[in-house]
Structure 1
């Protein structure tokens, strides 16, 4: 029986319920994060917790769960779902809770906190990508927050699938390629690693920050600046990152091979370090 953690209780999935007036359900008024679990251990939990806390503060969401309590809840939830010894994915969802009709939030918040887990999905060893028509708005501060409104990402991913690709790459309003629909993007050109800066409209991914630290340790030049669609075709290497799948090499963009379809040396080195 699948078990969730919902508002202070561990509850069976078949009886768990979100209130129909919950603002997360009605308006996307909330945030979330996803965490990789290895043998019962939540990878980089402190970084996820810090980002969740920062996002909640910026959106004025009530989030009072401390790190130790969160870790204990995760351990118990994994045990309830027989996932303590497996590789799994865990999602923490926080909404503003119930409210009356309209946009203004209630004066007294009763937030909804939902934690779910499941076996980790199987990811491809290599990815193909497609340049999407959907755009990231770098002028919106919400582009830096993992909110519950993921429609641009969903539609971009569907567009990529329709074109036979595994992931969509999104441009910002300045026509710079900044990220994937579910990932941060790194591109190697002339032995330099390019990745979009946060101010260019990307989510500050947990794995992104870890990869940047490894690149510094390897003395590899990093340029935090997005590149154009014309430049990206010149890539010697390309890889995607997120917390669940880690680092995944890109071997084709818009059906054009990158590095003759081979995984590059920098990508391989980073994969070894992360694993």
Structure 2
């Protein structure tokens, strides 16, 4: 498996020290990131990802990252990875931290660290998911931001893996369906494919947005749900076969859930149609 890393202007080995031990991204998880899909050695939807990276940074109180610096890192990583492995499918991660800081929550103004990494790999065609025992706090100051403060997601995903799943599905604090640890969720039922609204506390996923846009463009019944339209208990309808579930993310594209809480479940017809549209469009529209 190929892994190429660029940190602050230079390529580094995976076992090579590249960040300060007192970088705020390490000491307090003070940073933001984006994970992008790589198709044939090219980054999909990079402009959208960079725009969300800047929004997340501003939401965290950081300066927006230097976009040209990030793009230079992306180009360097892709060139090195392609030279090593040829045109590849996989993922690319952009991480921006608050840079070197004190041993505490305070920041050094103007400091910033940028890291870009790429790795080849294939997407799984389906997901086994499990309900999380912990909710997403939709009132958190970092709700909807893609930050490196990911410990809650790590713990929830470890719980799901212990149950035989590859993703954990979270409610929010008022009992509404919210998201996965690294994915958005869609529920198919009543002839529609619905996703929770951003007010639920979920991330404004790039793939989620494109599913809504491209699904509507293709004439498919896909939309954002009303705030109280998808309670967490809708997952009972999925296990009972009255509804279907799908996940979307840059690491999954459109992925039907075929196992939920130990029960096999069917993929939805609309989900499969949306997946077909997405797979076609993402290779024809590299930067939508």
TM-score, L = length of structure 1? 0.90
CA distance in 2, matches of 1:136, 1:114: 27
How many residues get paired? 269
Change (3 A) 1:63 1:142: same
Report the more deviating stretch, 27-36 or 162-171: 162-171
Give the match for residue 274 of structure 1: 278
Please point out which of 245, 255, 264 is paired with 2:268. 264
1:228 CA drift (Å): 2.2
User: Is residue 2:235 matched to residue 1:232?
Assistant: yes
User: Is residue 2:1 matched to residue 1:9?
Assistant: no
Gaps of 5+ in 2: 280-288
Q: Larger % of strand: which?
A: 1
1:100 is paired with a residue of what secondary structure? coil
1:143 is paired with a residue of what secondary structure? coil
1:223 CA drift (Å): 4.0
Report Cα offsets for 1:158-182 as digits up to 9, x if no partner.
1111112221101110111211111
1:187 is paired with a residue of what secondary structure? strand
Check whether the contact 2:185–2:246 (CA below 8 A) recurs between aligned residues: yes
Check whether the contact 2:129–2:165 (CA below 8 A) recurs between aligned residues: yes
CA distance in 2, matches of 1:111, 1:18: 11
Give the match for residue 185 of structure 2: 185
Map 1:67-146; keep pairs closer than 5 Å: 70-81=70-81, 82-83=84-85, 85-106=87-108, 108-120=109-121, 122-146=122-146
CA distance in 2, matches of 1:83, 1:178: 38
Check whether the contact 1:127–1:166 (CA below 8 A) recurs between aligned residues: yes
Change (3 A) 1:116 1:139: same
Gaps of 5+ in 1: none
1:144 is paired with a residue of what secondary structure? coil
CA distance in 1, matches of 2:3, 2:176: 42
2:237 is paired with a residue of what secondary structure? coil
CA distance in 1, matches of 2:271, 2:220: 14
1:136 is paired with a residue of what secondary structure? coil
Map 1:168-179; keep pairs closer than 5 Å: 168-179=168-179
Give the match for residue 256 of structure 2: 249
Backbone CA RMSD of aligned residues: 2.0
Report Cα offsets for 1:131-174 as digits up to 9, x if no partner.
11111000113121111111111111111111122211011101
Give the match for residue 44 of structure 2: 43
CA distance in 2, matches of 1:271, 1:221: 12
1:3 CA drift (Å): 4.2
Map 1:15-30; keep pairs closer than 5 Å: 15-30=16-31
Check whether the contact 1:37–1:87 (CA below 8 A) recurs between aligned residues: yes
Change (3 A) 1:76 1:83: farther
Check whether the contact 1:178–1:201 (CA below 8 A) recurs between aligned residues: yes
1:134 is paired with a residue of what secondary structure? coil
Map 1:174-213; keep pairs closer than 5 Å: 174-213=174-213
Give the match for residue 63 of structure 2: 62
1:7 CA drift (Å): 1.3
